Amino acid sequence: MGTFSRNVPSRVSGRRRYHGFFMGVSKSAVDRVRSAVDIIDVVREHVPTLKRVGSRWRGLCPFHNERTPSFYVNPDLGLWHCFGACQEGGDVFKFLMKLENLSFPEALQQMAARVGIQIDWEKTHDHTTQETRDKERYLNLLEQAAAFYQTALQERLEADTARRFLSDRRIKPASMAKFRVGYVPRQSGFLDHALHKGVPIEDILKTGLAARSEKTGRYHDPLMGRVVFPIQDIYGRIIGFGGRTLDEGEGIPKYINSPETVLYSKSRHLFGLFHAKNTLRDQHQAVLVEGYMDVIGCHQAGLTGVVALLGTAFTKDQALLLKRFVQEVVLLFDPDEAGVRASSRSAEILLQSDLFVRIARLPAGKDPDELILEQGTGALQAVLQSAEDVMDFWLAQAAAQSGRFQGLHEKIRQAEGLLDLLREVPNEILRHEWLRKISSKLGLDESALKKELRKKTPGGTRPPVDKGSHASGPAIPGAEEELLQLLCSHPEIWPEVHFDADVFQDERCAVFFRKLQSQWSATQSLHVSDALNEMSEADRGWMSRLVMEEKQFENPQETLSQLMKRLLDWKARRRLGYLEKEVLAMVEGRVPRDEAKLAEYTQLTKILKGKPEISGPH
């Protein structure tokens, strides 16, 4: 049966939740995963501009718009840092957490799966880890559903209409297998199967694999009777489904997607990206289409850099997702009025994300896959190769609306609309070239347009885009910071360290030194990323910047000696300053005489007498 009203097993009752920082997995397990993961490989998947610069790697920060690279990765330390607008850094887990908005257990799980290390979650019970276990369970359930739907498409008698539909669209078995196309049966479906296996109904509901009727209270599969296309995240994990109806009756939506869940948000994912991402990195260009069948048809024809929306308008999150792989996006939407509006709005969002945009125009009434079927791959390639710059597209649209720019008032009105679009573009070269193009096309003075653009831009300047900073970031002054940089970059000198954290006047430096000192005492080795992760959130970015600055030391031993002398001297002077006040109080009779303090004062005075007073540690 496809619907249910019977009692079903539940996980809700008795569930325990613990709030607080994730502490469950052993440090050795975290260290094993971190050591096995190549941070350069992970970061390079999301920062295509990453290039080696000496012992470090540098690229455009994936977390903010910038013109000059300010994002650095040090593979020896296993750390990254943005010296630009973010002023943040950390290890590979922190990178993934920030990039994907993940908890630490989720980031750890992803990296563990990447390197084939099994994490024993069952020994942990805190709130964050419970959420991770829940998500792993949901992912496993979605994977089972996809396999069930694939088998149903191949074997069920009632799927004959679905098989004919796919055959008519000339979707080959290899393509169906690649994209894991399936069919949701109306009878004895996955809902039946899962409940029979003891899967709690709450899990089935939370993955979008079932819905409950408000009228009858019965459960059903919202995609039953449809061809389904599994929606995968960039790691290939199934997070939802899109379903295409086989019944063209009036009032029946042609496509519906899984509802929003803890795993799936239609505004943050793109269909086909998992299969397209390698091509996108190689070509630095993505083709964005509107439908699942368009993606499958294009990939089948060898055009593997194609991805699709998920039944909603294009979003900023999707633009940032594409930016992790490409520098240019070609929009290939329907040529009707709705498609033109969608192209224009999508282009604005892409440009605001500092991506180049071109518009490809399909023949009237044709989808990309239909064009391939009727005229061959070459016809679609020709459409893509003739894609026009988005400003040419906008000018053509404006000309069509205004009767070829008849009259000064109409030209000014159109120019103002185009300048509104232009002021959101971060790329200054592009803005300059487009101003020239608008001036030429509309016959308006370029300098006047520039003045109008400055008026429209807040503060009279172009939109703020961080230009990054110097290759190593601004220098962090001070002997205390320099000593920490030395100790992190040259662990071989730690046997020569004969002082404690009280030489540091800056409490942040003292805390970080204690963590490093504790590591060295326990293991005769350093794990800078561990020490960094143990710092407070407020201090972590500052300390990451310090460690990643990569200061060069020609003679580490000599530098250590000089810095130690300097800091010990300042420690002595601080102590002497304190004792001077104490001794003065004794002389004036305000406090009892303390022989030990008097002797210490006399000794420090002799030691420091005649020594030149050097500048402080900061």
Mean pLDDT for the chain?
Answer: 82
Task: Output the pLDDT for position 6.
Answer: 36
Which parts of 47-163 are beta strand (E)? 51-53, 56-59, 71-74, 79-82, 89-90
Q: Which amino acid is at 309?
A: L
**Lowest-confidence pick of 44-53, 203-212, 317-326, 564-573:** 564-573
Paired tokens of 294: 């368009």
User: Residue 503, CB half-sphere, CA atoms under 13 Å: how many?
Assistant: 19
Q: Are 333 and 289 in contact (CB under 8 A)?
A: yes
Q: How far apart are the first and last CA of the chain?
A: 75
Band of pLDDT at residue 578, cut at 50, 70 and 90:
confident
Residue 84's Cβ-count burial label (10 Å; 0-12, 13-18, 19+) is: buried
Task: Output the pLDDT for position 536.
Answer: 79
Bridge partners of 329, per DSSP, are 286, 357
User: Cα separations (Å) of 498 from 130, 501, 528, 560, 568?
Assistant: 45, 10, 20, 11, 11
DSSP-based helix, strand, coil % in the chain, nearest 5: 50, 10, 40
Query: Residue 213 and residue 199: Cα distance in Å, rounded?
Result: 20
Task: Output the pLDDT for position 16.
Answer: 30
Question: Does the pTM of the predicted model rise above 0.75?
Answer: no
594 or 168, which is more confident: 168
pLDDT per position as a tens digit, 439-456: 888 878 788 888 888 776
Mean pLDDT on 502-529: 84
- Which strand ranges, in their side-by-side order, compose the sheet holding 51-53? 51-53, 56-59, 71-74, 79-82, 89-90
Q: Which amino acid is at 323?
A: K
Task: Output the pLDDT for position 312.
Answer: 86
pLDDT per position as a tens digit, 96-128: 998 888 888 888 888 988 888 887 765 555 556
pLDDT per position as a tens digit, 194-242: 999 999 999 999 999 999 988 888 999 999 999 999 999 988 999 999 9
The number of helices, as runs of H, and strands, as runs of E, in the chain is 25, 17
Query: Residue 496 and residue 424: Cα distance in Å, rounded?
Result: 56
The secondary structure of residue 502, as a DSSP letter, is G
The secondary structure of residue 288, as a DSSP letter, is E
Query: Residue 400 and residue 396: Cα distance in Å, rounded?
Result: 6
pLDDT per position as a tens digit, 455-511: 766 544 444 444 444 333 333 348 888 888 888 888 888 888 888 888 888 888 888
Band of pLDDT at residue 551, cut at 50, 70 and 90:
confident
**Lowest-confidence pick of 272-286, 332-346, 545-559:** 545-559
Query: Residue 24 and residue 1: Cα distance in Å, rounded?
Result: 42
Q: Are 509 and 546 in contact (CB under 8 A)?
A: no
Query: Residue 561 and residue 432: Cα distance in Å, rounded?
Result: 55
pLDDT per position as a tens digit, 135-163: 889 999 999 999 999 999 999 999 999 99
pLDDT per position as a tens digit, 422-439: 887 877 888 888 888 888
Task: Output the pLDDT for position 244.
Answer: 94
pLDDT per position as a tens digit, 280-297: 988 989 999 999 999 999
Bridge partners of 388, per DSSP, are 359
Is the model's pLDDT at 384 over the cut of 50?
A: yes
Task: Output the pLDDT for position 328.
Answer: 94
